[in-house]
């Protein structure tokens, strides 16, 4: 079996016609590959990233799904295509350089079978899926850590907080959950093995892929729930701050209302107000103001409103 990395149309001209091979290329250079292997549905490459599907054709299977990575505190989504038959595996991904190095590590590409007895082409197919799922686990862990940090920032915030961050995180987590849910359907179809491209003895490896996919979907679902919790926490935090502000207004009005009433009484334009002729009336009024304020303060302190 041979490996081919297609970087231009000249590389594609060396592709074998009757030899088993593992081919890796980006979406642009896939144009030089698909015609040589009579692959159909070329137009699917131009569709949006939302397209996730599995198809069994006459002599090959094709799957496409969204692979995401945690880069610079952000989940970056990218489309991945895998064409698998008894004679070739074509891996189409724009991030193929780094992905290939991980997939090909510890794989004996020059042999038809690996030390564990599995067919090399089938093993690479399995290892590609396994590595991609493992990387998405790591990416979700990075996203989970970011959620935890954002929660602490929100709890420690005494003033303004950017609510748009939570909205963005919720949208990202929902998109990841949606893509992973559709990926579980793909794992089921791979295990159905309609084209019998995977031997019965090797199908057990792909059952592990199915189990890993479901665990990944559960992880994505829990993170989506955490973003919803973060939104609820923000709402609760804002409500608490509003209540604190209203409590302060209530306390202020408790002090101000009696004094306002007394000021209103002595501000009325009546001729006969005996207190106005009293020598110490002004000082008594101030003593009354202070006394009322002190009583209110003690009552509020006792009721723990201060």
Q: Tens-of-pLDDT digits for all 306 residues of the chain?
A: 788 888 888 887 778 767 888 888 888 888 888 877 777 655 555 554 456 788 888 888 999 888 888 888 888 888 889 999 988 899 988 866 677 777 777 777 777 787 778 888 898 899 889 989 999 999 999 999 999 988 888 777 776 777 888 888 899 999 999 999 989 999 999 988 888 899 888 888 899 999 999 999 999 999 999 998 888 887 777 676 776 667 777 777 877 788 788 778 777 777 777 777 777 777 887 888 888 888 878 887 777 766
> Is 220 part of any domain?
yes
One domain for residues 266 and 216: no
Q: What's the number of CA atoms in the CB half-sphere (13 Å) around residue 229?
A: 13
> Is 151 part of any domain?
yes
One domain for residues 192 and 297: no
One domain for residues 36 and 185: yes
Using the 3D structure, point to which of 197, 212, 239 is the last residue of a domain: 239
- Residue that is written with structure tokens 């929902």 in the block: 174
> Is 246 part of any domain?
no
The pLDDT value given to residue 47: 53
Other CB atoms closer than 10 Å to residue 59's CB: what's the count?
12
One domain for residues 141 and 77: yes
> Is 77 part of any domain?
yes
Buried b (16+ CB within 10 A) or exposed e, 80-112: bbbbbbebbbbbbbeebeebbeebbeeeeeeee
Other CB atoms closer than 10 Å to residue 280's CB: what's the count?
9
- Residue by residue, DSSP assigns 179-204 as HHHHHHHHHHHHHH-TT--S-TTTHH
The pLDDT value given to residue 42: 52
> Is 186 part of any domain?
yes
One domain for residues 231 and 261: no
> What Rg do the C-alpha atoms of the chain give, in angstroms?
35
Using the 3D structure, point to which of 239, 263, 291 is the last residue of a domain: 239
One domain for residues 290 and 211: no
Domain of residue 52, residue span: 2-239
One domain for residues 116 and 168: yes
- Number of domains forming the structure of the chain: 2
One domain for residues 212 and 256: no
Using the 3D structure, point to which of 214, 239, 264 is the last residue of a domain: 239
CB 95 within 8 A of CB 89: no
Q: What is the SS3 assignment for 113-166?
A: ECCCCCEHHHHHHHHHHHHHHHHHHHHHHHHHHHHHHHHHHHHHCCCCCCHHHH
One domain for residues 107 and 177: yes
Distances (CA, A) of 35 to 4, 9, 287: 16, 12, 99
> Is 244 part of any domain?
no
């Amino acid at each position: 079996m041979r490996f081919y990395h297609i970087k231009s149309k000249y590389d594609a001209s060396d592709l074998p016609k009757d030899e088993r091979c593992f081919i890796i290329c980006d979406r642009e250079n896939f144009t030089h590959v698909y015609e040589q292997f009579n692959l159909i549905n070329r137009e699917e490459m131009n569709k949006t990233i939302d397209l996730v599907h599995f198809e069994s054709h006459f002599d090959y299977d094709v799957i496409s799904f969204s692979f995401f990575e945690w880069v610079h505190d952000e989940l970056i989504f990218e489309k991945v295509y895998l064409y698998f038959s008894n004679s070739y595996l074509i891996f189409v991904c724009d991030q193929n350089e780094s992905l290939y190095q991980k997939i090909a590590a510890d794989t004996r590409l020059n042999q038809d079978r690996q030390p564990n007895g599995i067919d090399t082409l089938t093993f690479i197919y399995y290892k590609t899926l396994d590595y991609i799922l493992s990387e998405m686990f790591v990416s979700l862990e990075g996203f989970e850590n970011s959620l935890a940090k954002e929660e602490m920032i929100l709890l420690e915030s005494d003033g303004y907080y950017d609510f748009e961050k939570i909205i963005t995180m919720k949208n990202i987590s929902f998109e990841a959950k949606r893509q992973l849910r559709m990926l579980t359907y793909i794992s089921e179809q791979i295990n159905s093995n309609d084209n019998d491209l995977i031997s019965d003895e090797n199908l057990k490896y792909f059952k592990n892929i199915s189990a890993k996919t479901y665990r990944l979907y559960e992880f994505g679902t829990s993170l989506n729930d955490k973003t919803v919790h973060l939104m609820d926490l923000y709402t609760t935090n804002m409500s608490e701050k509003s209540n604190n502000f209203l409590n302060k207004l209530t306390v202020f009005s408790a002090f101000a209302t009696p004094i306002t009433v007394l000021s209103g009484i002595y501000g009325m334009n009546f001729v006969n107000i005996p207190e106005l002729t009293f020598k110490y009336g002004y000082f008594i009024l101030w003593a009354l103001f202070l006394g009322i304020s002190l009583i209110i303060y003690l009552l509020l302190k006792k009721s723990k409103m201060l």
